Amino acid sequence: MNILTLDAGGTNFIFSAICDNKINKITILKPANGNNLNLCLNTIIDGFKEIKNKLDKKIDAISFAFPGPADYKKGIIGDLFNLPAFRGGIALSPMLEEIFQVPVFINNDGDLYAYGEALAGSLPMINKKLKDNNNSKQYNNLVGLTIGTGFGAGFVSEKHLIKGDNICAAEIWITSNRVNPEINSEEGVSIRAVKYFFSELSNIPLGDCPEPKEIFEIGCNKKHINHFFAINAYEELGHFIGDTIANMITLFDGIVVIGGGIAGAKDLIIPGIKKELSTTFHKIGKVETNPRLIQDVFCLNNKQEFENFLEVRETTIKVPFSDKEIIYDPHPRCAFMFSDYETSDMINLGAYHFALEKLKNE
Instruction: Please give the chain's pLDDT, 362 residues, in tens.
Output: 899 999 887 788 889 999 888 888 889 999 988 888 999 999 999 999 999 999 878 999 999 998 888 888 899 988 877 778 888 889 999 999 999 999 999 998 899 999 999 999 999 999 999 999 999 999 999 999 999 888 989 999 999 999 888 777 788 888 998 889 899 999 999 999 999 999 999 999 999 999 999 999 999 999 999 999 999 999 999 999 999 999 999 999 999 999 988 888 999 999 999 999 999 988 888 888 989 899 999 999 999 999 999 999 989 999 999 999 998 988 999 999 999 999 989 999 999 999 999 998 76
316, with CB counted inside 10 A (0-12, 13-18, 19+), is: exposed
In this structure, the answer to whether residues 102 and 117 fall within a common structural domain is: no
Q: Say how many domains are in the chain.
A: 2
In this structure, the answer to whether residues 95 and 121 fall within a common structural domain is: no
Beta bridge partners of 22: 19
In this structure, the answer to whether residues 142 and 225 fall within a common structural domain is: yes
Nearest CA-CA partner of 65 in 260, 207, 299: 260
DSSP 321-350: TSS-EEEE----EEEEEE-SS-HHHHHHHH
Which of 54, 79, 107 delimits the end of a domain? 107
In this structure, the answer to whether residues 256 and 159 fall within a common structural domain is: yes
The whole-model pTM stands at 0.91
In this structure, the answer to whether residues 133 and 81 fall within a common structural domain is: no
The CATH code of the domain that includes 8 is 3.30.420.40
Instruction: Give dist(CA 293, CA 297) in Å, integer.
Output: 8
Residue 96 belongs to domain spanning: 2-107
Strands 2-8 and 61-65: parallel
Instruction: Give dist(CA 357, CA 353) in Å, integer.
Output: 6
Q: Is the bond preceding residue 320 a cis peptide, omega within 30 degrees?
A: no
In this structure, the answer to whether residues 102 and 214 fall within a common structural domain is: no
Rounded to the nearest 10°, the torsion over CA 275, 290, 297, 180 is -40
